[in-house]
Structure 1
Amino acid sequence: MHWITRRSTDMWIHNLSLRFKFISGLVVFVLLLGIMISLIMYFHFNSIMQSEISQRARMLLAQSNAIQEYVKASLRPEMFDVLPEGRFVLKAMSSSYISRDVMARLNISDTYAYHYRRVSKKPRNPDSAPDAFEMELIGLFADNPELSIFEDTATVKGEKYHMVARPVVFGESCMQCHGDPQDAPGEMIEIYGSKNGFQYTVGEVGGVVVAGFPVNMIKGPVQDLTLKYLSLYLLGIFFFASLISMFFDRLVMKNLKTLGDIFKTRFTDDRESKIINKLGEKDEIEGVIEGVDELALCLAEARADLEDYTQNLEEMVEDRTLALKEKAEKHLFDVNLFVSLLAGFNQAATSHEFISRVLKSVGERFKASQVVYYCTVVSENRYALHEDAPVPELDPQVKDLLWKDDILAEDKRLYIPVKSSESHWGILSISWQRSLAKKDIDRAVMLGLGHQIAMVIENIQAFSDIRFQNDMLQSIFEGISDPLLLIDTQCHIIIANHASQQILRNDKRRLQRHALERFLSLKSRVQQAESLKDQLQNIKGPLSREIVTGDNRWFRVDLYPLPSRDQAVSRVVLYARDITMEAQMMKQMQQTERLSAIGKMAAGIAHEVNNPLGVIQCYTDLVRDAVSDDQVHQDIDVIAKHTRGVQKVVKDLLNLSRPKQVISGRCNINHVVSAMAEVFNTQGISKDIRITLDLEPDLAEIECDAAILEQILTNLCLNAFDAMTDQGGKVDISTRESGAVQEEADMVRLSVQDNGPGIDQDILPHIFDPFYTTKEVGKGTGLGLSVVYGFVNELGGHIEVVSSHEPQNHTRFDIYFPTVVRKAKRGV
């Protein structure tokens, strides 16, 4: 009995299909992996939430400590100063009462109810009496003075809490209310009496503060989140198994079924049929192997039988040989027909071309007078081998063959259903001039022919859909206006859209690769140890970086590695977007925000300083009139001089903070520059500094008052002179009409350049900030360039600065002024 049961189990296992075994094993493996990942997630999330609840409990304890420290250090001393001596207001002066009441109010509005207790050994309030757990904590802190905090899990009213506790240690400042009752305020004695809450000593642990949150606060969310992830994972396993099953059917099971059909078609006698029937007793692979082995044995035995017949019955062998030859030739014709069908699939671009080849091949194979294919899908077209011959209508009863696994033979015509296991395509009609003999019809071959034609039509339709999808994706790919490339980790370009010429700028593959390597080696806005090119070698996940080109263009580059599909080198999608305009706008916004914030601060400082300065100036004049001593007058002049200097700084501060007024006026920029150059020439000669002018003639007038332009030039020239005080040098001032880009149309550019030591790159972003200066103390206020920046923005222009140490040191300020032409065009 045991042997029979075991044999039945083995047969059941063998009868399982190859697909079921493969999918089951794969699902079990993925399921175990999912369970392991879920456990890891559970413990990880539990650890995170445990840390979170610990931090919350400590924060709660710190909040209570802060309230008590505030009462002790600020509120209570202030109340003692305000109230008459001996008065004591419990709700405003007791740190224990205030902290306990505040924490109780906070617990009402909190989402999760926390546990907070402040207890003492000799409580004045019965609610502050410690329980057994809190008494243990008081003893623990008393026995271990170095222990400042305790943290553990405890049960309160049947619910577990994560607790954090600290000792209440009485200090010198606590003795008035907790030491000798005679020292305590009278009102406190009236409220609490003189027994409880007194007789503590300095340094004694008199109580404990306990705070905590329920443990269920973390367990529930962690379990819910883990179950959600596991559910999504199980759903993914279901879809994954369905997808694998579909592809397995398509790639393996269908071909094995076709092979089984061929076996059934070619081997039809009783013994061979029994061998073919055994193919279904095991899974597909084992069945095919065993079937081929037994068929080979059968063929060997047949050969032995033929040799015996040859020795004894030569004539029978000859007849048998002729019969076998005829059968083999017939099968060879069938094989050639199927091969021609496969060749037609490779050579035909459309279903119509393939059907034309099929009609010709079938007509030649069966020597038919006419072959017609009736399409029963949508169009119901008819395709004939001889198109000039009349084609009869298809009898509706013949269409029923599509629902049967059979053929229909008439006197001189044969109908074959063209269908697969998934779709019905049409009917193939073969006609002869003569009547059909039974031996001319091989049902299995005819059905196999119809099935093979249907499979090829399906594949042609599938490839047509793929080509259409590919063309559509190619159009989308080329339609993207930003550079988009598919590359490998060695910077080989696999495919690139037309917009990628923005960074490649060449049609030759080798030069394009070098251009891409240079592009990915550019420096980033945020300094990184490795460039994008270096990180590309070991890229594991999406990578994003902002880089700047040599012509000062900013690009945001995103790299997306693709899953490896047996390629020797991994492939990466590169997407680059020009963000130059965004970067410039962001820089201007940040500068404006800084100036606004500093301007508000400067206004407050200026108003606070201006009044004392007026008083100093007034009393200076009074003292000068009251005394006649020359030495005193000189001292007063020094005070007045420095007072006026401070007043000028205050005036600049107020100019920064006040709302900007519309500046009216226009001037000829070349005239103002020439006049100012003469003013600074004398000062430059004394410092060995030469001023050169390069002014473009016939420039349009600019929308700027001459006095404002003079102040701007003064600040820039003074900064240039200060930068070259030690070694002398040269200041180049030039004017040009600017219209290289649309934003600068109808503007005039004023450039002031010196050959001083230059400005460091880390300082450059801050030079327009008020009070920012690199000069020595007393030699600069840091307001000059801020004033220039404010004037230029008010005028509707903008300012740029370039500083470099190569090939030689220089700093250049470029200021763009709108012209009267620009104002007229914009209707201002």
Structure 2
Amino acid sequence: MRFPRPHSLQSKFLIGLIATSLVIGGILYAVFSYYMGKLLEGEVHAKASMVLAQVDSVQSYVRHVLRPAMYVKLPDAFVIEAMSSSYISRRVMSRISDGSTHHVYRRVAIGARNEDFEANELERSLVARFQKDRAAQIWHGYENIDGVRHFVMARPVVFREECLRCHGTVEDAPVELVERYGDRGFGHEADTVGGVDFVGLPVTASVARIHGAITTYAIVFALAALFYFVATNIIFKRIVANSVRTLTTSFRRNFQDDTSMALYREVERGDEIHKITAGIERLSDYLYETRQKLQNYATNLETMVEERTSELARLAQARQSDVEMFARLLAGSSRSQSRRELWRATLPLIAERFDLERTVHLCALSTNRHYSWPESDEPPALPEDWVSLLSESRPLIEADRAFIPEESSPGSAEGLLCLYHKPGRSFCAQDRAVLIAIGRQLGIAAENFAALDSIMRHNANLQAVFEGITEPLLLADSSGSPIVVNEAARALSRDLSGGASDSGNIIGLLCGMGGQTGDCDISRSIGMDQVLSREVALPGGRSFSLSIYPVLANGADESGRAVVYVHETTRQKRLLAQMNQAEKMATVGKLASGLAHEINNPLGVILCYGELLRTSVPQGQPSDDVEVILKHTRQAQSVLRNLLNFARPKVATDKAVDMVPVVRSVVDVFRIQAEKQGVRIEVAVDGPVPPVNAEPQAVEHIMANLLLNALDMVPESGGQVFIELGHDPGASDVVLKVSDNGAGIAADHQPFIFDPFYTTKEVNKGSGLGLAVVFGFMSDLGGSIVAGNLHPEEDPGREGSPAGAVFTLRFPAASQPQEEA
């Protein structure tokens, strides 16, 4: 192979190519090295984050599952191997730092309880960093540990309030910790950084593998570049030289004079590109001189060309005007909201384009309906066969007027476009195609308006039906997000969200809590293509029935949808429960009435003879035995009185009673007992409270039973009973709420608490008739009683109190309130 001369064009080209290849190779090497480094950093970052996440999982399990369970099993002991989150997480993660893999995990502190986990110099610097920047949550970087380069990730260990039992003062710490570690590891305060979680992953081997891959890439790139240079050197000269040779051969064939042949031989003798280029430049100068000579012979031809060019320019201007007119017609039809606006927007544009005197749209259904520009009530002058023009889709173009059917397709004419020229003006042959296209465009626009009007009418009808449905109805996608909702659905979303949202997104409000599937089984209904029904119960006691009707997708690109019908069943279920309770109460009442009468007489005899016997026996053991007999006899009579009250409640009356003084008087009676138990009773009256038609003794009995239950349920120290009395004008009810901060009502007890003889109290502490009697009184009054549990967030006035039971009683307000004497 012959190498080019050092200063030839080919040599310069190859040198530039080599320099460019080196620059590109260097850039690729740098980019590849940077990318591989970032890839390695991302991988080790993810692994380190996974280690910290595993540590969090272990500590969360200890804090929220294992430690509480151990406190239940061993309330007075502290087992560090099962209750210390730091100890357990270090033991679980100890296999990471076994030394064979150079992986490091350490949970260290300054002044650590165990000297093995005292922070070293690097770890102390990280603790200082987090103490200085409290907003920092993580730090990562590269450090050399024992001669091995590691990727290090660290996060602060913050002492929370619950950590201070073991890390606060020595006096408050478990005895087991003090005996095991002495006074080390104490004295920390809440929300302070005392240590770090430290994870180190070795990267030396990975960096070596990356460098090896990059070196291999550089060698392959160099070999490919060498092959590319050799091939380019061969191809460059052959292709360029052959192209120039082809060019000179063409000159030789077309130019046979002496001057041309001399220039051709000079070009052919050149063996370098710059010489060939110089010869071609001289040949170009010769051609220029020859061209100047030819121009002298083309003067007449140029004049003809100018005339033809002028005519073509005029035609091009006309076509440009047509394009602009069609664009304005399209814009005008897009802005129009009705057919009248369509003709008002388009007819002036057509008249302007053809310089017309008048433009008219004639409706195909009636000649009395037409739109004219300029506006005029005068009907247009039509040809005798104008009807056949419409039926046959045939345009008629005369010298001074034209009639064009407005149709999107043959046989579907919307009207007739009538065009009238000014005097002395006429249509030309080139206008025919443009006018037919205008008629087609107007026909399409009019047809679109007809379709749009039909769609709008159908949509309005469907919307009226949709909004007229009184139950919540919505169209939702497969995730439960609403697409279309009616007013009832929007009202329900406002109700369930407390006025925060009126978007109608009731699926998330109904099924997005309590561990339920967030889409109310909509995706399952769509996937199965079956109608599904389900019941949803909310924490507040409301319940809903959902019927899901899947709608098939229109195409593969459209996800499935479903129509969801929502019906609230709260009232029906409540009425059914009340009916069942009333039936049970009636049945038990009959039984209780008979039993009370049959047993009460023998008890009276026992009590009478017991009183006589007490006066005749000597003091001592016989007298005490008689007192036991009398005590249990009176207790049995009390149960019988409750049975009679339950069987025959006579609480309704025509006399109105003021609830406020009655409630306060009962509270005053029980206040002494409550103070002895360390329980606080509060009464709150919300505004004026109307009287109710009830016997005061019945109200006192109801309050007494509820207060006795509350005092039995609250803790003896720090207990609280809260009584609220108010008026609900909407329901015309007096509302009485009795709540406490006890343990609340268990879910499995709640359906039975109003049943006679059902009690959760200890033996001899309750007969199980108190709430049953209250239920009977409220039924006789025409009111209601509902039991539930009270959560702290439901009562801002008692923030911080634990959950307890709440009884809500509704008394019908008296229709004619009586003034107190």
TM-score normalised by the chain length of structure 2: 0.48
Higher relative contact order (CA 8 A, sep 6+): 1
